[in-house]
Amino acid sequence: MNARPHQLLFDYESRYVSIAWKHPDKIKGMYTSNPNMPKVRMNAVSLVRSGWGVRKTSRYMGCSPGTITKWCSKAKYLNQRYGIPTQSSRPHHSPQRISQETKDAIIAERLRHSRCGAVIQRILLSQNIKVSTSTVNRVLDQGQFLKKKSKWKRLHKNTLRPIPDNPGDLVEIDTIHYLPYWFRNDKTKWYITTAIDLYSRWVYAEVQLRASAGTSLSFLRNLKQLAPFKIKCIQTDHGSEFGRYFSLNAGVRHRHIRVRKPNYNAHIEKFNRTIQDECITKGIPSNIEELKQWIKNYLIYYNQERLHMGINFMTPTQKLTLKKTQVFPRS
């Protein structure tokens, strides 16, 4: 008889019976995750209870007699309907586990300076406590001291940031949330969408009643028409008005900065502060039309009269004019 170890074989008359438990090296998947195994174990217990011997049942089931005995012992405290569950094969104790004193030292160092696992490992090494960096990180993870990325957080792939060597190579766009009547508990909110060209510092701004992808696209269309250069790439934060719909309909390359890193949009953030200090907060507009006129007049001053240290004390208009009149020597 050519019997394979994983088959359930039993021959009452033949002496050549397949006994799988005597050849464990030939059995694959002894610790199985098969959902039917709990019922199979309980069926083996039922055979023993019906009058079968332990060895007879073990030959029939293809396992050792000791396994059948253990199943019978466990079945005394379990419901026959649900079977005998599969237990984990993980060892109860690790022979090379670190001591509790080492764990306390790792956690204490984390609480003292809030440093990463690699730094904590070096500090403990200087204190003659030998432990690997992976072990330090594992202890910190078990203590919930590590900040992990949420599985619900959308992945944003950063594209290569262009170098602004020419006008329009990179234009930063942002939105200011403006509360004009906050002092009288009025929740009226206007939105000021701003843009700045990194090469020339030329700026543009519009006042809108709401911030959405539609209003941002309308702002971008007006920006393309009024800008004295062709826009090649725009850069924004992860605001809802600059989401997927905006990116698909922008018509130009659109890149996002890193999440919660406003310094990556430093130029437009600085302009937002400047326009608020020098224009918006100088008075209280009676309506949105008056605010639009204030910003329109300020943009003319900013682009044509205001000197900028970042472009060698020139105005944005002078910077653009100088770029157009530059004559590059022939190579």
pLDDT in tens, 131-165: 999 999 999 999 989 887 777 766 767 778 999 99
> What is the model's pLDDT at position 317?
95
Q: What is the pLDDT of residues 69-101, one digit of tens each?
A: 999 998 888 877 778 888 877 777 777 889 999
> What is the model's pLDDT at position 221?
97
Architecture of domain 171-322: 2-Layer Sandwich (3.30)
Can you read off the two tokens belonging to residue 259?
A: 């999440």
Residue 57's nearest CA partner among 17, 36, 65 is 65
Which of 39-43, 159-163, 250-254 has the largest mean confidence? 250-254
Tell me how far apart the alpha carbons of residues 314 and 253 are, in angstroms, rounded to a whole number. 28
pTM, entire model: 0.57
> What is the model's pLDDT at position 36?
87
Mean pLDDT value across residues 269-295? 94
Q: Answer whether residue 252 shows pLDDT above 90.
A: yes
DSSP character string of 191-228: EEEEEEETTT--EEEEEES--SHHHHHHHHHHHHHH-S
> What is the model's pLDDT at position 295?
96
Domain residue extents for the chain: 1-88, 100-142, 171-322
**AA identity, residue 96:** Q
> What is the model's pLDDT at position 13?
38
Write down the H helix ranges in 114-212.
117-126, 133-142
Are the beta carbons of 80 and 42 closer than 8 angstroms?
yes
Are the beta carbons of 64 and 58 closer than 8 angstroms?
yes
